[in-house]
Amino acid sequence: MASSAATKLRYRRWHPLLAILVAFSLLPTMIAARDDQDGDRVGFLPGKPGRPPVSQFSGYVTVNEHNGRALFYWFFEAQASPAQKPLLLWLNGGPGCSSVGYGAASELGPLLVNDNGTGLEFNEFSWNREANLLFLESPVGVGFSYTNTTSDLDNIDDRFVAEDTYTFLVNWFNRFPQYKNNDFYISGESYAGHYVPQLAEVVYERNKHLEANQNTNLKGFIVGNAVTDVYYDENGLVEFAWSHSVISDQLYERVKNVCDFRIHTRTEECAHAMNLVYTQYDKIDIFNVYAPKCNTDESALSSTSDSTVEMNAKKKFKRLRMYTGYDPCYSTHIEDYLNRMDVQKSLHANISGWIKDRKWSICSYSIFDNYHDNIFSVRPIYSKLVKAGLRIWIYSGDVDGRVPVIGSRYWVEALGLPVKSQWQPWYLKDQVAGRFVEYEGLTMATVRGAGHDVPQDKPEEALVIITSFLSDRQLPTKNN
């Protein structure tokens, strides 16, 4: 006992010196991180409004040196007190669509591409009012992200994406160590319904085997219009189409009779019936059934003769914009802006010449076509991470026909979680903004009148949702 006490006493005497020695040993690493950080800072950005100031960084983080694989990111510090604000990673789905093109430039970032693609405008409802925002182009092959090993592009599936994204986070935190201890949340939409919970699971599991000071400070995740479970999502898609007068009673009954969505591989009869369902969306936008449809280059995207499930899903490539000057073909403006050489130079993008022989695209056809979507359901991950105590929210725009709220309600109910508060409206400016239900460990919310990309269609409502999520508060239930 005496020896132990003496050891502790000697440790206390030497502790300040040890701290100084450790600090000096880490100094080269800290300086290198600061140099990398400074190299990624975005100063001048063509077409950027002069005020307010936006602190931003962008560039590449290597995730596999041997294969020459690197992912592109765009990071915005919080508008106020970034050291105290949480870090929020945003991922778009597809699979194969760009979080820089959608999330950052047209949905929730502070700088949105304007209506003619010539510059940027400030987004007063940006989520960086509440968090430091990190947008990642993932998987490799999307947007500016690249690999020097072409076989990588043939092996992409959910596990590949989760591992690459985790490696990106580890290396990004090495470059930005000042955010290592901030509360960390993961967010996204659409097929990120797979990416987000699977990444959260990887982080959660890796944290178990790391020292406390090496852990990623994961607190929870939130995902919108989330692809989650084939059985419930597909049933919801068909029921939504029928209940919103998109398909006939006869086609609805036919799908119910010939399709068993519990089976991962569809029969020929089911595939044909589902193609007929998608065909009914040829003249309207499946991602927002009450919005005008973009008809630009429609023939290049789909036709009655080749209206397969895959071709219709590619209609996401032409997106809708619902505010500050409506333009139903808005994604073409994003591509115009991000393909400018001066913009790419300012963002430190395309330094490898990855897209030298092609244009930057808001979505990648090749990734979509070759992606190995072999996970039938991510519901078990929800059950696991609810038990782990993570904060979990999902939200749905209620006029999305591609991943409808109907299917999401089905799979959430199938989790079997006890209800904390019943289904009820939430409010914004004396109007019902949506509805929500709280379970033990999970909150589900809807956004009234929003389609597949909620922050784009209803930016102010989306800001209320993310603010409530990050602050762990219930959505506003009083009409004031």
Q: What are phi and psi of 219, to 5 degrees?
A: -110, -25
Cβ atoms 442, 415 nearer than 8 A: yes
Structure tokens at 87: 């870090």
pLDDT of res. 366: 87
Cβ atoms 77, 49 nearer than 8 A: no
pLDDT of res. 16: 53
Q: What is the distance between the alpha carbons of residues 148 and 352, in angstroms, rounded to a whole number?
A: 9
**pTM summary value:** 0.87
pLDDT of res. 298: 40
Question: What is the maximal distance between C-alpha atoms in the chain?
Answer: 86
Q: What is the distance between the alpha carbons of residues 17 and 13, in angstroms, rounded to a whole number?
A: 8
Active-site residue set: 190, 400, 452
Q: What is the distance between the alpha carbons of residues 347 and 60, in angstroms, rounded to a whole number?
A: 10
Cβ atoms 445, 395 nearer than 8 A: yes
Q: What DSSP string describes 77-141?
A: --SS-TTTSPEEEEE--TTTB-TIIIIIIIISSSEEE-TTSS-EEE-TT-GGGTSEEEEEE-STT
Cβ atoms 241, 399 nearer than 8 A: no
Query: What integer is the mean pLDDT of 45-70?
Result: 94
CA atoms within 13 A on the CB side of 32: 9
Closest CA to 371 of 211, 141, 213, 178: 141
pLDDT reading at 320 higher than 50? no
Task: Calculate Rg over the CA atoms of the chain.
Answer: 23
pLDDT of res. 24: 57
Q: What is the distance between the alpha carbons of residues 229 and 378, in angstroms, rounded to a whole number?
A: 6
Residue partners of 258: CB distance under 8 A and separation at least 6:
267, 269, 270, 273
Higher pLDDT, 119 or 365: 119
Closest CA to 277 of 313, 315, 240, 241: 241
Q: What is the distance between the alpha carbons of residues 22 and 51, in angstroms, rounded to a whole number?
A: 42
Proportion of the chain above pLDDT 90, given as a percent:
72
Residue partners of 161: CB distance under 8 A and separation at least 6:
95, 138, 139, 195, 198
pLDDT of res. 40: 96
Structure tokens at 253: 């009954």
Arithmetic mean of pLDDT over the chain: 87
Q: Write out pLDDT tens, residues 183-233.
A: 999 999 999 999 999 999 999 999 999 887 788 999 999 999 999 999 999
pLDDT reading at 318 higher than 90? no
Task: Indicate the residue type of 460.
Answer: E
